[in-house]
Structures are given as C-alpha cells and as structure tokens.
Structure 1
Amino acid sequence: MSRQRFSTLFRTIVAIALTGSVAMAHAEQVFRVTAIPDESPTELARKAAPLMKYLSEKLGMKVEYTPVTDYAASVEALVNKQVDMAWFGGFTFVQANVRSNGQVIPLVQRSEDERFRSVFITTEPDIKNLEDLRGKSVSFGSASSTSGHLMPRSFLQDVAYLNPEKDFKRVSFSGAHDATIAAVAAGKVDAGALNISVWEKFVTEKKVDTSKVRVFYTTPEYYDYNWTVHNGVSPEVRKKLVDAFLALDKNTPQGKEILELQRASKFVPTKTENYAGIERAARSAGLLK
C-alpha cells in the first residue's frame, strides 16, 4: 500500500471513529424521566410534555419522558438506572430507597406534598364515616399507591380499627385514582379511596357528579409525592434540576402552565427523612418487604 493511500485510509478511519464518538456522546445526552401511572396514560403524557421541554432548556440536553405500565415498573426503572429521574409517590419512593439500599435521592416535592391528604368517596347514603364501610365493597388505586392505598389503609386501621381483608365485603384495586372515581360513580363498588388532588381536579373540571358522588372522610396530612433521581446523576445535574423546579413561577406563562398541570403552587426541596412516616406505615401494614 502506498504511503498516500495509507494516509487517506488512516484519516478516514479517524474520521469515522470521531464521528462515532460524537454520536455516542450525543446519544448519552438524553435525560430519561418516568412517573408512576396514577392517572391515565394520555393525562400523564399531557402533564409531562411542557415540563420535559422546560427541563431540557435548563439542563442543556434532551429530556425524554418514558411511560411505564405500573407502579412497580417505575421503581425498577429508576433502581436499575433505565431512567434518570422518576415522579414517585411517598410509598414508591420508599420502595425505591429500600430496593437500591439508599442509592436514590429525592430532590423536590410540591409544597402541597408536605401536607397531602386522601379522601374516601361514595354514592351510598348510608355510608357516613369509615366505620360504615364494614361489610362494604371498597376500591383502592394501585397496591403501591401512597395516597390511593397505603395511607387510606393506615387510617382505616388506626382510626376505625378496620382490616380491609377481614372487614370488607370485597377489596379491589382500580390501578389509578381516576379509575377509582369511575368505579364508585358507576356503582361497581360502594366506596373508594384516592388522593385529594385528583378528586379536586375532577370536581373543578366537572368530570364527576358531586350530587351523586361525595367525600365522606378526609385523612390527616402526610408527606407524599416527589421527584427522585438515582445516585448516578451528577451533583451538577442534580443542582440544575433543583434550581429549575424551584424557579418555576406561576406569574410567568411557562411557569403557570407547568405548575397548573402538576397541580402545584410551587416546588420545594425535600429529603429522605420526610418519608420515614410512610416507611413506618408500610412496614406496619406488611406492605414493605
């Protein structure tokens, strides 16, 4: 081979290698996000779109929303670093923290999540308090839902001394908060438990007939949802994420849109210790192994 042909071949190989390296580096600049499927897939995608665009601008890289099929899948996706950040409920955060041996980091939560509540709803006139659920059919959301199962179950046990499996006629799991409303409204169950945020959204948007479906019990407050990353996300990126969430302002068009879709007045920093009560409740109910 002549020196000229060798030189040309060498330059070609280097160019291909560099192109591949650039492409690989570019491919790596995708920040993947998921969320527990606590509402319908279309609603979750609608809520995610403007937030992903905003975070992409703040991080300087593509931010991609990846839906999952159920709550457990969101935990596994973050623990196994298939995604970089997840929107968790308090219980799914605790599950991820336990599964990863403390290798996930909660960043922010809505200010509303510092004092979150669940509601019990019914169409039955004879159900006026938790004790009246004895012998009734009751729907929770997902088995891994904080506000749609764990905390309602905890208050059933602590306030009314009811064990769902022993004291209810039937226990079912709808899979999501909006599905619980639909089940109660359709008379498929006598009562249901869900998070107060989804209930208030349905009432505001007139998606539920409150002359038929009503709240008969609201739980005490507890910590709930947060945005969590795995420990492989660099401190620099974590800071950018926190700064981006904290900078959301309802007085700007972009901030207003995102905050309203997230049903938040603002975001605030959070920490693992905030979810100690959720972990205690999960262990007490035998839901955390």
Structure 2
Amino acid sequence: MRYLTALLALLVSIGGFAADTQRPQFTFTAIPDQNEAELMRRFEQVAHYLSGQLGVNARYIPVKSYPAAITAFRNNQVQLAWFGGLSGVQARRMVPGSEAIAQGYEDQFFKTYFIAHKSAGITPGDELPQAIAGKTFTFGSKGSTSGRLMPEFHIRKVFGKAPAQVFSRVGFSGDHSRTIALVQSGAFEIGALNYAVWDKAVVQGDVDTNQVSVIWTTPEYADYQWTVRGDIDEHFGAGFKEQLGRALLAIDDKRILESFSRSGFVPADNDVYQAIKQTAQDIGLLDDF
C-alpha cells in the first residue's frame, strides 16, 4: 500500500511537470534600481502571481543595468518590463506599438529627494539650495528618471549650467540604495534619489539620519510603469495583453505591494509620459543610455 501511494504521488508529480513545461514561457524584467537581493524577492513573487493568473510560465530575468533592461525588451528577450519613466520612453521608442499599461498609484505623484551629508552644511529649503554649488554630487543610474533625469533638469533650471559646471565632482552611483550609502559615508556630499527608496530605508533603519538628511524635494512627476511589447498577442494569443493588464491592476497581495512600496496599481498609457519624453529631449538625455 505504501509503495502504491508513493508511485501515485510520483506519477502525479511527473504529470504536473509535463503539463507545466507545455505552458508558454513568458519573461519579464525590471530596471535594477535597488540592491539585487531585494529585487529578486519582489519579482519572483510577481512571477508566481502572473503564472497563476495567466496560465503561463512567468519568469523574471534580472539584468545588471538600465541599458540591459531596454536591450532585453527591444530584442524580445522579455515581453514585459518594469521601467522608470525615462527608460520606459526609451524602450517604447525602440519597439513600435509597445505600451505602458499600468503604474503604481504613487507613480502618478513621484518625487526626487536631494540628500546631503551633514558635513556639507546645507540647510533644507522649499527651493533647491544654492549652497549645493561647488560640492561633490552623485546621481543614481545614468538612465534613471528620479536619480538622473529630473534632478539634472532642476539643477540646469536653477543654475543655468550642466551639473559638471555646478559641482566640483559628479558621479553615478548605479542605483538609489548605493546613492544613500555614498552620501552617508561622505564619499559624496550631495545626492539625488527615488523618494520611496529613501523612505523605506529610513523605516527599516538603514539610514543614519544624523549623518545624512533630505534637503529638497522636487515637484511631482509620473515615473515607474509596466510596459508591454505591442506584438505580445501574436505570441500568446488574442486578448493576452488585455488579460495581462487586468492581472497587473488586480494585484492586491500585501507582500507584493509592500515590496514595491505601492498601495496598488492603476491604468497607464503612453501619453502619461509625454512630459518625461519632452524633458529628456530638452536636456539631451533621450538617447543617453
């Protein structure tokens, strides 16, 4: 009897495995804007959720850089991507027919924080402090909306110069978590980053607010979004894009939402990001990735 039970369990697992491998492979990626371990935890949960909702083998493919995420999307190595505002605009330009289909509720009202090490002696204000001029400064990734595009826009607006002409040294940390670490250590006096990453790090006790603090917050802008390739229905069947959009908007798992620092997801479209596109064109960053 014990042998028959074990054999039945084996046959069921083999049958389940065979059926699972027959499902189409659906792949997605995300810009690497935080540390890799945290991103893996977040997007493996999303992959599990989408597999159940869509009847496919959903797989998250991590990448090492913003350009790598855009390239994977362009080459159809992934059919869906969690992009920032700028990287999404860049990717959609390369893949005609691709669409922004969902964004976090908070992404409608996104912000950049300028932070400073206490040694810089910068007083927080309602306007970008003029005293940051001459200091050392780090952006995040070169392709980041909140860590590069928007802070550079405001720096140019206030000082009428490129960042290299405003600061004594300019760097690119690579991601928002690294920006915090560099400014907190004093390696750079000033930095700019995604407000949600900062707020979460403060709550988790990962920031020494005696050493580094927020000195200015930008006006709000639209940022992150899920972007899907325009030819996705050709590969997964008519109506798949619509089904995918519904699944993303329906995410209500508290663990997933907390990992995104979002309260939920809302519809988006390409028009939402026209201001980002125009800003990138105005300061020459649209093709800079």
Normalised-by-shorter TM-score class: 0.7 to 0.9
Partner SS, residue 86 of structure 1: strand
TM-score by length of 2: 0.86
User: 2:3 corresponds to which residue?
Assistant: none
- Superposed, 1:67-78 pairs within 5 Å as 67-78=62-73
What is the Cα-based RMSD across aligned positions, in Å? 1.7
- 2:47 aligned partner, one-letter code: M
Q: CA offset at residue 175 of structure 1?
A: 0.2
- Larger Rg, first or second structure (1 or 2): 1
Partner SS, residue 211 of structure 1: coil
CA distance in structure 2 between the aligned counterparts of 1:139 and 1:257, rounded to whole angstroms: 31
CA distance in structure 2 between the aligned counterparts of 1:31 and 1:223, rounded to whole angstroms: 27
- 2:146 aligned partner, one-letter code: S
- Superposed, 1:236-251 pairs within 5 Å as 236-249=239-252
One of 75, 96, 103 as aligned partner of 2:97: 103
Partner SS, residue 154 of structure 1: helix
Q: CA offset at residue 85 of structure 1?
A: 0.5
CA distance in structure 2 between the aligned counterparts of 1:180 and 1:32, rounded to whole angstroms: 29
Question: Which one is further off, 233-242 or 202-211?
Answer: 233-242
CA distance in structure 1 between the aligned counterparts of 2:109 and 2:175, rounded to whole angstroms: 21
User: 1:56 corresponds to which residue?
Assistant: 51
User: 1:11 corresponds to which residue?
Assistant: none
User: 2:178 corresponds to which residue?
Assistant: 179
CA distance in structure 1 between the aligned counterparts of 2:221 and 2:249, rounded to whole angstroms: 21
Contact 2:30 2:62 in 1 (8 A): yes
- 4+ residue runs over 4 A deviation: 25-28
Contact 1:146 1:224 in 2 (8 A): yes
**Matched-pair identity in %:** 41
Contact 1:184 1:190 in 2 (8 A): yes
Partner SS, residue 257 of structure 1: helix
**Does residue 204 in structure 1 map to residue 199 in structure 2?**
no
CA distance in structure 2 between the aligned counterparts of 1:212 and 1:126, rounded to whole angstroms: 11
Contact 1:138 1:171 in 2 (8 A): yes
Contact 2:120 2:189 in 1 (8 A): no
Unaligned 5+ residue runs, structure 2?
A: 1-17
**Does residue 43 in structure 1 map to residue 46 in structure 2?**
no
Cα distance change of structure 1 residues 247 and 210 upon mapping to structure 2, 3 Å threshold: same
One of 252, 260, 279 as aligned partner of 2:258: 260
User: 2:12 corresponds to which residue?
Assistant: none
Q: CA offset at residue 158 of structure 1?
A: 1.8
- 2:243 aligned partner, one-letter code: K
User: 1:189 corresponds to which residue?
Assistant: 188
Cα distance change of structure 1 residues 91 and 180 upon mapping to structure 2, 3 Å threshold: same
Q: CA offset at residue 236 of structure 1?
A: 1.6
User: 2:83 corresponds to which residue?
Assistant: 88
Partner SS, residue 83 of structure 1: coil
Unaligned 5+ residue runs, structure 1?
A: 1-22, 250-254
User: 1:143 corresponds to which residue?
Assistant: 142
Q: CA offset at residue 246 of structure 1?
A: 1.8
CA distance in structure 1 between the aligned counterparts of 2:81 and 2:249, rounded to whole angstroms: 17
1:118-144 deviation per Cα after TM superposition (whole angstroms, max 9, x unaligned): 000011352234311111110000000
CA distance in structure 1 between the aligned counterparts of 2:59 and 2:267, rounded to whole angstroms: 23
Partner SS, residue 121 of structure 1: strand
CA distance in structure 2 between the aligned counterparts of 1:248 and 1:26, rounded to whole angstroms: 25
- 1:183 aligned partner, one-letter code: L
CA distance in structure 2 between the aligned counterparts of 1:228 and 1:262, rounded to whole angstroms: 16
User: 1:13 corresponds to which residue?
Assistant: none
Q: CA offset at residue 99 of structure 1?
A: 2.1
